[in-house]
A = this chain, B = another copy of it.
């Protein structure tokens, strides 16, 4: 029993260390040696718990995603009009990214590596867009929203949210002369900026 606890704690430690290293270096840049060092063990033990680097990455990546998706599902599937949900969605998404700023890069990598697996995982977790699509089409048909398809609205929303995280190193240089604090402030501002932008684009007032 004590041994089991010990092994379980080692596995947990590995996952935490891997998370940190993947954040610093990305999947390709991460080295099993560095993960082992960070966990205070050696490579062999790493492979004892996780057969391959791919498996380790998958468990870390989908572990993070598992924590994130339920909140989004709840927001997307709520009954409120879309515009009233936008701010909540932006805030939820954005606050999660601020705590996991590497996530867009992880997702981006997985999108290109194995999109089917990622798509299936999202569906398994209940994250699909059929119902939200119907809802938005309805709101447009009733004149509550200016004409736009769900797909375009979704792309606009996601693009505006994630681009400052994906492009941070360059944006911080070109738009804020490298000032990290100003960039953090910029990121915080975007929650309300994006909500306003979308509301203004979709309503005539």
Contacts and interface: CB of A to CB of B under 8 A. Distances in A.
Interface of A: 26, 28, 105, 108, 111-112, 115-116, 118-119, 122, 128-129, 146, 148, 150-152, 154-156, 158-164, 166-176, 186, 189-190, 193-194, 197-198, 200-202, 204-205
A129 B177 CA distance: 11
B116 A112 contact: no
Contacts of A168: 111
Contact of A197 (B105, B115, B156): B156
A198 B176 CA distance: 23
A107 to B, nearest CB: 8
Contact of A112 (B146, B152, B169, B194): B169
Given A111-B170, A122-B174, A155-B171, 17 more contacts: A26-B112, A28-B28, A108-B166, A112-B169, A116-B173, A119-B173, A129-B175, A148-B197, A150-B175, A151-B176, A152-B189, A152-B197, A155-B167, A156-B160, A159-B160, A200-B200, A200-B202
Nearest to A183: B151
A169 B107 CA distance: 11
